[in-house]
Amino acid sequence: MKVPLLDLPGQYQALKSELNQVWFEVMSSAGFIGGARVKTLEEQVAQYCEVQHAVSCANGTDALMIIMRALGIGPGDEIITTPFTFWATVECITSVGATPVFVDIEPGTYNMNVSLVEAAITDRTKAIIPVHIFGQCVDMHRLMQIASERGLYVVEDACQAIGARHYGNMAGSMGTIAAFSFFPSKNLGGAGDGGIITTNDQALAARCRKIAGHGTSKKYFHDEFGQNSRLDALQAGILLVKLPHLDEWNEQRRTAAKSYGNLLEGCGLDLPEERPHNKATYHLYVVKAKSAAQAERLMGHLKDNDIGTALYYPLALHEQQAFTKNPGYVKPHLPVAQSCNERTFAIPCFPGITRDQVNYVVDVLESAL
Ligand SMILES: *Cc1c(COP(=O)(O)O)cnc(C)c1O
């Protein structure tokens, strides 16, 4: 049996006629940039995420970078974030000349350990970037209390968490502002790059829109230096076809995750822990081996049996060469994040995965254990 890590061709087959229709309509209208589809997508994503405003852009990384600029973050500012995430989270901080300050993660959820945040705040701290890793929300309830007491912005990196809930609140609706990615493999993915920013702050939304569009409020008149970050009409059209299916797809991921939780309990691997007030989207179902050697052996066994798997993430961000090559770099001590290096790997958990496929993955893993 073959079980990929994610089945995008299967998703295309299921929605083929609608997706092809978008392609032909956009091609024949030649309205490639902007237009009704982009506007409708922004409205529908705002509604879906339960926020007032959504501003589309070229990708999730840009969404984060535009947010940094819109908040006026720059050299001298410190931004508190997690070392266990995709590199873009930290790139947005360094791209504006600010300094990332990493706090360690908690075992089980792999999310920022919010109880460590207060100790990391200094006079220079401007914002906190929690990342809802693998689709489970950070303890935003506590984090927002800390941030409001200290007057800090909270930028949700919700790129893996569209549709996730925390005490009933939607990911991307709880912080000052949030970033989402429509990278093809994300829970809501386009046929290329795409991203969106969500917020309830109208002025901030307007600033993001201006920065994403060359600092323009009137065509060919520029109040400031912005950038070019646009979502294509084609991507917007494809995302509009997929959005109505997102809840069902996330439910299917949750069902698979629940089965893994039941079937793999006691197998000797650390399984993901969903906190009671959270509803996670299981962008990835990540298990943690006892050692790097064990992870390598298990992943080899999965691959030999046609099962997709990959390390998420092989190396914590504070240990990446981009930092460590600087002679003055003082590596923070983040033992939980470091304990994940080469040890945490994903097993298939995607919309449409069958019961048989889940059982097969479990059998193969258990025979290797
Ligand atoms: C995917 C992702 C991003 C970046 O999104 P792109 O659309 O690939 O630029 C940022 N942060 C996290 C946590 C992500 O998973």
The DSSP code for 15 is T
Strands 344-347 and 285-288: antiparallel
User: Is the distance from the beta carbon of residue 193 to the nearest atom of ligand 1 less than 6 Å?
Assistant: yes
Q: Tell me the C-alpha distance between 82 and 105, whole Å.
A: 7
Amino acid at 324: T
| pLDDT (0 to 100) of residue 114 | 98
pLDDT one-digit tens code per residue, 285-315: 999 999 999 999 999 999 999 999 999 999 9
Predicted confidence band at 217 (pLDDT cuts at 50, 70, 90)? confident
Are the beta carbons of 41 and 236 closer than 8 angstroms?
Answer: yes
Question: Is the CB of 337 inside a 6 Å radius of any atom of ligand 1?
Answer: no
Instruction: Return the pLDDT at 206.
Output: 97
Residue with tokens 């908690």: 106
Q: What predicted TM-score, i.e. pTM, was given to this entire model?
A: 0.98
In a mutational test of the pocket of ligand 1, which residue from 90, 183, 231 has the highest number of ligand atoms less than 8 Å from its CB? 183
Residue bearing the CA closest to ligand 1, atom 5: 60
Ligand 1 nearest atom to the CA of residue 194, by list position:
7
Bridge partners of 216, per DSSP, are 222
Q: Is 183 in the pocket of ligand 1 (CB under 6 A)?
A: yes
What tens digit of pLDDT does each residue of 236-292 get? 999 999 999 999 999 999 999 999 999 999 999 999 999 999 999 999 999 999 999
Bin 150: left if φ > 0, else alpha if -120 < ψ < 50, else beta: alpha
Q: Ramachandran region of residue 163, left (φ > 0), alpha (ψ -120 to 50) or beta? A: left
195 Rama class: left (phi>0) / alpha (psi -120 to 50) / beta: beta
Maximum CA extent, the chain: 65
Q: What is the pLDDT of residue 43?
A: 98
Distance between CA atoms of residues 255 and 361, nearest Å: 15
Decide: helix, strand or coil at residue 265.
coil
